[in-house]
Structure 1
Amino acid sequence: MTIDRSAVEALLYLEARLMDAHRYDEWLALWHDDATYWVPCNDDDIDPARNVSIIYDRRGQLRSRIQRLKETAWLREQTPRLRRVVSNIEIESATGAEVVVNSAFILAELHHHEQYLWAGSTTHKLAPEDGGLKIKYKKVVLLNNNEALPNLLFLI
């Protein structure tokens, strides 16, 4: 399968921009119907079916998570300001069914006059659909996933 690297990069940059702007519905539209969003806790490769995860959502749970974020009144009044940098984008493999992409990110969060930095790596599995790519799987490994973490008031 021939992969258009610029299309892969454009999708990752678009996803980051939508998350930073809290454009949740548009972000969800980037996802495949059979999607998994996973942020492991305490180890990078635990079995999410047998261990606690920070996030382990399927498509329906993603919709619920977004709805909660949109309905949280106090969060709407003081939405965190976010800016993320996506880098080190590497296409690991590509078949007719999916493209596996690894990348790194730094995310700056400003909330209640406090600035926080988040860092980690991401694995996306992208599926061809309707002439483009959809996110079928996303695994975010936070650098500090073995530390106590605050509630995430945004998409990571």
Structure 2
Amino acid sequence: MAADADKTELMHEVTQFIHREARLQDAHEYDDWEALWTDDAVYWVPANGEDIDPEREMSIIYDNRSRIALRIKQLHTGKRHSQTPRSRLARVVSNIELLDSGAAEIRVAANAMVFESNMRGETLWATRNEYTLRRIDGALRMARKKVVLVNNDKALFTLSFLI
């Protein structure tokens, strides 16, 4: 029974973390979103399938921790506008599943639908997300996030927000 209670508590904590991450992205609160990452983080959005080698094939995003910070810093300069006005976003996250809850890392998967409204119209993005989470100073942090766009094998509109 204690193991079930521990797993239920972990699932609740993981779910809250993933929902908070989605809210921060939707609100374009990228400084707070950046704080969710570990120092050795990898953020990956593959192109042309999900099982490619990002070191050898093109990805939509394949960022380490310093590149994540640089993207956000560039947004703050006002000189790297990705869009004006910026998109209004709303995510629905579902099917959150604990894949492995080892002592050092927690692997999680979830589906998401991202609704984007901007000057060119509305777009619906469907994703399957994979997370590797670690506990740092008692709080969960993302060590790895892989976002597989369902339609990543087709031509995509410019992604002018961080998915």
Q: Give the TM-score normalised by structure 1.
A: 0.94
Distance in structure 2 (CA, Å) of the matches to 1:112 and 1:76: 9
Determine which structure has more spread, i.e. the larger CA radius of gyration: 2
Equivalent in 112, 137, 151 of residue 105 of structure 1: 112
| Counterpart check, 1:129 vs 2:124 | no
Distance in structure 2 (CA, Å) of the matches to 1:69 and 1:81: 16
The aligned counterpart of 1:5 is 11
* Aligned residues: CA RMSD: 1.6
Other structure's SS at 1:147 match: coil
Other structure's SS at 1:108 match: strand
Asked if the contact 1:84/1:105 (under 8 Å) is kept, the reply is yes
The aligned counterpart of 1:60 is 66
1:41-80 to structure 2, matched below 5 A, reads 41-72=47-78, 74-75=81-82, 77-80=84-87
Aligned-pair identity in percent equals 44
| Counterpart check, 1:141 vs 2:158 | no
Distance in structure 2 (CA, Å) of the matches to 1:44 and 1:77: 31
Cα drift, residue 75 of structure 1: 4.6
Cα drift, residue 148 of structure 1: 1.0
Asked if the contact 2:87/2:118 (under 8 Å) is kept, the reply is yes
Cα drift, residue 69 of structure 1: 2.8
Distance in structure 1 (CA, Å) of the matches to 2:83 and 2:60: 23
Cα drift, residue 68 of structure 1: 2.5
Cα drift, residue 152 of structure 1: 1.2
Other structure's SS at 2:67 match: helix
The aligned counterpart of 2:42 is 36
Q: Give the TM-score normalised by structure 2.
A: 0.90
Cα drift, residue 113 of structure 1: 5.4
Asked if the contact 1:105/1:121 (under 8 Å) is kept, the reply is yes
Count of matched residue positions in the alignment of Structure 1 and Structure 2: 156
Structure 1 alignment gaps of length 5 or more: none
Asked if the contact 1:69/1:153 (under 8 Å) is kept, the reply is no
